[in-house]
């Protein structure tokens, strides 16, 4: 059955005719894919991408060809005359889109790791095209009719539980993206999505431009208090920017945080602080505030079209929290304890500043500096001394040690050209399951900051496991922005950076552990997806990791017991700051997406909400609204930034499950249940049910409060009580 194509579709896919007799078949379209290196089957070792052949000139044609094939695959499903069933509709839909998945692997690398003006131009063209394309698929009437027929009869069909969950997830994905709308509303939905895609690209590019454009150059006289390792890295950063006689503080968190922690020059701390926290909010052509207002209004308009009270109600419907009120309830339960801890921390810092005769009142650019002084005074823990034992290469080996002991995975470096990389900094390891002897896949690590790379740390997968397609080789990647040591010197990182390294590795292990049959069951609900990574942070503090991998970079001596005891004693230190800056961002996110966005001014809204929450003046939210990429450079964490604390309830509670055993975090029986119920299944089982299978009960909030040294929340035992 052939349907005529609209002019929009002709333009969009650059097709020259709608004559059905002239249209190439699906097989012919698939055969054409090999002509573009970004689309051809990956044939390197481990069936990995050939990154050496990637070229930006190939990207847009490859994406257009992949979209064309994907649409043809979807049409072949819709064209069937047989009654819809799981095998003839859901299974082929799960198999469709492999070409576009391959292109996205390259697209994501250019977007996050290798951005350039040329890519950003291509991205600005592709973003609205991709949005319109996916709207066409999600709103395909014939395809959705087949899916709905299977969904309506799913309980009486002979389907396994994972198949029932897959049908439900696919149905809700289509329904929540406008499949049930009337034709005129579908057009409006598509228009909104297309414009949002443009705005997300503009937003993220503005933030990246301000990160690249604002650099604080220092003279030798302005280095007071800065550690030698930081000075060496700042020297190298200045040299690469054509200023070999200076030192550069770049406008990224990995450069800003240590500078604010150690620099003794308050005016410079204030300058660096302002540069960082005013990103994309300087009243120039890169100011994001107008974009935010438009994004909020469009999201709200789309949610109303779909019959929801707000964007947050639409977004959270199928998450663990279910409603924004439940998410807000958890945040609000923790908020008072966090504020009280900040009050105590500020009092300690102010007392110290007064005793020094500084004549200052603690301001946001002072918090890290005086917190470090208090830490040293109270625990005699010098973060710079600790950094000497935190060599990046050693910590990578610590990751592998944990993966071996807990998951029975081995990591072997690939040091020849059998697997290609997209940048000289990237390293690759082959991953093997020691229990079965089977290959698991590859792990890529891109650890260092550079121009064109987005800030922060993240994990991704270039290919996921799929039992349906026989794909067992997972391609997982961790990405960071550590400041590279000077040539020949080791890269030394902070304890917070080491924690982040373990955190992101948790995501990687989640990817690598998948055993799902259907590709769409990979991943996890947004407020569950951080659980695995937050749990992995706990292994950094184990004696096995500390004793074996924390070695002084110059002497080779193991970290002394006195320093280890100080680390453990200070584990709950500064939790007021860390919890409050996070919760403030999460609360602003929910308030933004449950409020009427008409005539909203993001800066004023942020100020008013934080004032109503009694936000301390001595710190700011972790991600100020104009550069809050989690929620405005896309929709992944929009109305979902609360997810980190929701997942941390699970992480804290599951860590206590290990603590209840003689072997602690290395208990093999508990680790086996962890992998079986909370890593392997991905999204093939409801996470609340999966957690009960692991723990024997719901997670309890008290574990989180104990972790952070806060008083218990007397009226809230488990997040499930909020539902």
Q: What is the pLDDT of residues 462-493, one digit of tens each?
A: 999 999 987 778 999 999 999 888 888 899 99
Q: What's the pLDDT at 80? A: 95
pTM of the model: 0.89
Q: What's the pLDDT at 42? A: 75
Over residues 176-196, mean pLDDT:
95
Over residues 584-606, mean pLDDT:
97
pLDDT for 14 beyond 50: no
- Per the prediction, the chain carries an average pLDDT of 92
d(CA 546, CA 329): 37
* Pair 597, 297: CB distance under 8 Å: yes
- Of 98, 36, 96, the C-alpha closest to 62 is 36
Q: What is the pLDDT of residues 334-387, one digit of tens each?
A: 999 999 999 999 999 999 999 999 999 999 999 999 999 999 999 999 888 999
* Pair 320, 687: CB distance under 8 Å: yes
Q: What's the pLDDT at 34? A: 63
Q: What's the pLDDT at 71? A: 94
Over residues 72-77, mean pLDDT:
95
Structural domains for the chain: 7-112+140-158 (no CATH), 214-277 (no CATH), 387-505+539-569 (1.10.1370.40)
Over residues 142-161, mean pLDDT:
91
Q: What is the pLDDT of residues 424-456, one digit of tens each?
A: 999 999 999 999 999 999 999 999 998 899 888
Taking the CA atoms of residue 552, residue 558, residue 560 and residue 565 in that order, the dihedral angle to the nearest 10 degrees is 100
The token pair at 612 is 């109503």
Q: What's the pLDDT at 45? A: 66
Position 44 confidence tier, pLDDT thresholds 50, 70, 90:
low
Burial class (CB in 10 A: 0-12, 13-18, 19+), 324: buried
Over residues 113-125, mean pLDDT:
94
The residues pairing with 463 across neighbouring beta strands, listed in sequence order, are 475
Instruction: For tokens 């990160």, name the residue.
Output: 211
Q: What's the pLDDT at 484? A: 87
Position 15 confidence tier, pLDDT thresholds 50, 70, 90:
very low
The residues pairing with 466 across neighbouring beta strands, listed in sequence order, are 471
- Of 119, 207, 652, 198, the C-alpha closest to 456 is 207
Over residues 289-305, mean pLDDT:
98
Supply angle C-alpha 522, 129, 144, rounded to 5.
55
> What do you get for the CA distance between the two ends of the chain, in Å?
47
pLDDT for 599 beyond 80: yes
Q: How do strand 458-463 and strand 474-482 relate by DSSP bridges?
A: antiparallel
The token pair at 642 is 């609360």
d(CA 422, CA 653): 39
């Amino acid at each position: 059955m052939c349907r005529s194509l609209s002019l929009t579709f002709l333009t969009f896919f650059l097709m020259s005719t709608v004559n059905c007799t002239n249209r190439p078949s699906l097989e012919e379209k698939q055969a054409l894919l090999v002509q573009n290196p970004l689309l051809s089957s990956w044939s390197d070792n481990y069936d990995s991408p050939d990154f050496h052949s990637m070229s930006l000139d190939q990207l847009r044609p490859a994406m257009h060809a992949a979209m064309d094939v994907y649409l043809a695959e979807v049409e072949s499903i819709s064209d069937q005359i047989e009654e819809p069933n799981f095998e003839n509709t859901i299974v082929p839909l799960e198999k469709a889109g492999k070409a576009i998945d391959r292109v996205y692997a390259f697209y994501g690398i250019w977007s996050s790791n290798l951005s350039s003006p040329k890519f950003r131009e291509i991205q600005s063209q592709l973003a609205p095209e991709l949005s319109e394309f996916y709207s066409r698929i999600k709103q395909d009437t014939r395809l959705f009719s087949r899916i709905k027929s299977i969904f309506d009869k799913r309980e009486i069909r002979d389907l396994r539980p994972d198949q029932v969950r897959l049908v439900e997830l696919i149905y809700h994905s289509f329904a929540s993206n406008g499949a049930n709308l009337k034709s005129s509303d579908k057009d409006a939905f598509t228009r909104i999505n297309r414009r949002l895609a443009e705005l997300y690209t503009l937003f993220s590019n503005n933030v990246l431009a301000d990160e690249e454009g604002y650099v604080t150059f220092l003279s030798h006289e302005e280095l007071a208090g800065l550690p030698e390792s930081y000075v060496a890295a700042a020297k190298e950063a200045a040299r690469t920017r054509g200023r070999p006689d200076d030192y550069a503080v770049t406008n990224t968190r990995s450069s800003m945080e240590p500078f604010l922690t150690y620099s003794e020059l308050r005016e410079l701390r204030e300058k660096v602080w302002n540069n960082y926290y005013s990103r994309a909010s300087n009243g120039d052509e890169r100011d994001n505030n107008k974009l935010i207002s438009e994004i909020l209004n469009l999201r709200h308009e789309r949610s109303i079209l779909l019959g929801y009270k707000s964007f947050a109600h639409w977004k959270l419907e199928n998450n663990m929290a279910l409603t924004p009120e439940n998410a807000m309830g958890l945040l609000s339960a923790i908020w008072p304890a966090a504020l009280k801890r900040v009050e105590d921390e500020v009092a300690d810092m102010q007392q110290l500043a007064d005793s020094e005769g500084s004549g200052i009142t603690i301001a946001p650019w002072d918090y890290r500096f005086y917190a470090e002084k208090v830490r040293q005074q109270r625990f005699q823990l010098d973060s710079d001394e600790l950094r000497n034992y935190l060599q990046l290469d050693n910590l990578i080996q610590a990751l592998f040690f944990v993966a071996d002991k807990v998951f029975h995975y081995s990591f072997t470096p690939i040091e020849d050209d059998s697997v290609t990389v997209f940048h000289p900094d990237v390293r690759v390891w082959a991953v093997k399951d020691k229990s079965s002897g089977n290959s698991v896949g590859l792990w890529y690590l891109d650890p260092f900051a550079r121009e064109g790379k987005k800030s922060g740390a993240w994990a991704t997968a270039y290919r996921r496991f799929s039992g349906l397609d026989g794909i067992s080789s997972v391609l997982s990647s961790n990405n960071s922005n550590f400041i590279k040591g000077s040539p020949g010197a080791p890269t030394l990182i902070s304890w917070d950076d080491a924690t982040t390294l373990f955190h992101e590795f948790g995501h990687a292990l989640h990817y690598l552990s998948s055993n799902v049959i259907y590709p769409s069951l990979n991943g996890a609900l947004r407020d569950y997806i951080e659980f695995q990574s937050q749990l992995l942070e706990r292994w950094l503090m184990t004696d096995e990791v500390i004793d074996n991998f924390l070695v002084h970079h110059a002497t080779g001596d193991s970290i002394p017991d006195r320093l280890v005891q100080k680390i453990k004693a200070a584990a709950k230190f500064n939790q007021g700051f860390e919890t409050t800056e996070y919760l403030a961002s999460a609360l602003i996110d929910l308030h933004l997406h449950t409020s009427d966005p008409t005539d909203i001014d993001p800066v004023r809204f942020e100020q008013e909400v934080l004032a109503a929450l009694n936000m301390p003046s001595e710190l700011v939210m972790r991600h100020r609204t104009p550069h809050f990429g989690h929620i405005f450079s896309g929709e992944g964490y929009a109305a979902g930034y609360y997810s980190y604390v929701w997942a941390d309830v699970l992480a804290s509670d599951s860590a206590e499950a290990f603590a209840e055993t003689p072997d602690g975090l290395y208990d093999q029986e508990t680790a086996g249940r962890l992998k079986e119920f909370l890593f392997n299944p991905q999204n093939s089982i409801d996470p609340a049910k999966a957690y009960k299978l692991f723990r024997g009960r719901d997670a309890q909030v008290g574990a989180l409060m104990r972790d952070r040294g806060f008083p218990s929340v007397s009226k809230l035992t488990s997040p499930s009580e909020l539902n």
